A = this chain, B = another copy of it.
Amino acid sequence: MKLLAAAIALLSLFVASSAPADPTRWRDDVRKVAPALEKYGEGTLLGDVWKRPDLSPRDRSIVTLAALIARNQTIEMPFYLNLALDSGVKPREISEVITHLAFYSGWANATSAVAVAKDVFAERKVGADQLPDASPQLLPLNEATEADRAARVGQQFGAAVPGIVQYTTDVLFRDLWLRPELAPRDRSLVTVSALIATGQVAQIPYHLNRAMDNGLTQSQAAEAITHLAFYVGWPNVFSALPVAKEVFEKRPG
């Protein structure tokens, strides 16, 4: 048993060492390779960007998690999952963010996030009662808007690729988007963040407009884009800027 205990302790050490869960230790590693990175991280990123007033730490946490999951970057997930929970994001919201991104960034991105989140949830004693139901009562659907969307997409792609048109309606817009434990505004924020995070500009107009229809203000959107630059890199954000700008300018004042 002593053997087992020691081996388990060592394994835990190893697992911990691959993730910046312990900030002190982590800071130490960064210092041994890139002292400037520590400076920018502590000063600019955590000390300045995260404290800007136009987007709450809660929203910044959602944006950051969406970016990390969409880019499959598990190394910083333990830190930001904990920061999210400390900033008021509920476990059930995190659960929905992961499920949502299975569809908006790929199944294995969600799988990878689950593998990290299960440990964070276990450490924080998040039980089944704090998770969403698999099949909850859905939010009411705006039938007219959805009928419009479905007709437009069906006309464009229904003959060429019928399967995707069908799943987009049945699984995404008549099910996933109506799951109640993540507000539509937050779901949109996750989606837009994932699009920017992966350089997918073509669908930004639709989803950024939807986000703003769902209650995201322009200054929150602008601040989310600024925030994302640090987590997804300047190039992805600069590719999104002209598109976001056009969305902002075309919306009725």
Contact = CB atoms under 8 A, between A and B. Distances in A.
Contacts of A194: 233, 235
Interface in A88-119: 94-96, 98-99, 101-115, 117-118
Given A71-B108, A76-B107, 15 more contacts: A2-B3, A32-B121, A36-B99, A40-B99, A44-B171, A68-B108, A71-B72, A73-B108, A75-B111, A75-B115, A157-B241, A160-B222, A160-B248, A161-B225, A198-B199
A103 B73 contact: no
24 contacts: A7-B7, A11-B11, A11-B14, A32-B121, A33-B113, A33-B118, A34-B96, A35-B134, A36-B133, A44-B167, A49-B167, A101-B233, A103-B233, A104-B233, A109-B233, A156-B242, A160-B244, A161-B222, A164-B225, A164-B226, A198-B236, A199-B200, A200-B239, A203-B239
Given A114-B34, A162-B222, A108 B231 contact: yes
Interface in A201-253: 202-203, 222-223, 225-227, 229-239, 241-242, 244-245, 248-249
Interface residues of A, number: 108
Given A29-B115, A244-B160, A245-B157, A95 B36 contact: yes
**Among A162, A163, A168, residue most surrounded by chain B Cβ atoms (within 10 Å):** A163
Q: What is the oligomeric copy number?
A: 3
A233 B106 contact: yes
Interface in A42-70: 44-45, 49, 52, 54, 67-68, 70
Contacts of A107: 41, 45, 76, 230-231
**7 shortest interchain CB distances as A-B pairs:** A163-B226, A73-B108, A160-B245, A200-B235, A35-B134, A39-B134, A106-B233
